[in-house]
Amino acid sequence: MNRRHWVLGGLAGVALLAAGLLVAQQPFGAGAATSAPAASSSEAARSADAVEERRKITDDPVAPKHEPDGYDVTIVSYSDYQCPFCRKMHPVLERLAEQDGKIRIVYRDWPIFGAASEEAAKAAIASQWQGKHAEFHDALMQIEGRLDQAKIKAAAESAGVNWSKLETDLDERWREIGGVIDRTNRQAAQMGLQGTPALLVGPYLIPGALDDQTLAQAVQLAREFEQGS
């Protein structure tokens, strides 16, 4: 079975859910009560916990977002600017957002490839306060090879980012920026992610990069599952 069919088969069978973290109908944690009323109460509590945990992932106020009006599916993208597969996944997400006007993308920077990755992630997050995240994110994803500060600054310049303001925002908002990265690290660990890229497409957790057709099919499955958002 090739990767595309394996991924879609897993989605159709709800086999790639993050241990009940993302979908209210799935148990959150192990163990079941012996009586029916107690089990029902426990399941309701776990469902509420799962909904709240999913909200923390998708609606984090500091995580940059592409958020069109009337979106009905949310994709959460876990990525590192030095990850070659993230760079391949980037244009696939861009094309989907352009072709499908009801896709929200939440960018969860997960810098796992060292100090340069963390520097790029913090700069990208900070760029949203001058309305330049989309352009800067795109420029960073097009860099080839290892990152360094010179490449990051060159990407900022090509994206129209005011570097002086960026440095000010990095200094003044360091708690917010560091906080969202810390939250992303904890969530990735809780979901058992092993590396980048990883996507949450509606309620489905998909490790690795996808092609255009497979991602579109995953979005359709998400739409069929409680409207996918």
pLDDT in tens, 127-143: 999 999 999 999 999 99
Task: Tell if the pTM clears 0.75, that is, is over it.
Answer: yes
Neighbours of 188 (CB within 10 A): 18
Burial class (CB in 10 A: 0-12, 13-18, 19+), 88: middle
Query: Residue 160: how many CA atoms within 13 Å on its side-chain side?
Result: 7
- Which residue would you say has higher pLDDT here, 228 or 115? 115
The answer to whether 90 touches 141, Cβ cutoff 8 Å, is: yes
pLDDT in tens, 41-87: 666 666 666 778 888 899 999 999 999 999 999 999 999 999 999 99
**pLDDT band for position 103 (50/70/90)?**
very high
Q: Which residue has the tokens 């490839």?
A: 113
